[in-house]
Amino acid sequence: MSLHLIKLCVGVESVEDLEGWIALKLEEKRRSGLAIDHFHTTRMVPKRVEELLSGGSIYWIIKGGVQCRQRLLDIQPFTDAEGIGRCRLILEPEIIRTEWQPRRPFQGWRYLDPKDAPEDLAGAESGDELPLELRRELTELGLL
């Protein structure tokens, strides 16, 4: 059974902003001749690795709500140059937009049970999605 992570996407204003940041980082790595892995570094190492890697994703909270996710490909604990244990969450660079789900901010990451995860948006690839503000209002009214 798969399991997910949920985390605040600090410094990002929108899903498009996150997509642009990922593209920029991957291009910088490509130009520098580095491995083209996309990852997010955290302090804590998840204990439930097998569940996370059996189809899990990291769901990103942007501007007060979950708006998208990225598939988890690997989890790599390491020790940084200062001797502090850290963890790289290796992520698929593709962003999958989800239904907007309100969430309060918190520090670090949390496990997210699949039954509590928002659904992927249908039609997001074709540009048929509603604008964020309209989706948010409709969700708050219980219409989505």
Euclidean distance between the first and the last CA atom of the chain, given in angstroms as a whole number: 27
Alpha carbon distance 119, 114 (integer Å): 10
The answer to whether 58 and 40 are in contact (CB under 8 A) is: yes
Q: Where are the domains of the chain?
A: 4-140
pTM of the full structure: 0.83
Tens-binned pLDDT, residue by residue, of the chain (144 aa): 799 999 999 999 999 999 999 999 999 989 998 888 899 999 999 999 999 999 999 999 999 999 999 999 999 999 999 999 999 999 999 999 999 999 998 999 999 999 999 999 875 444 456 676 776 677 666 665
| Res 4: pLDDT | 97
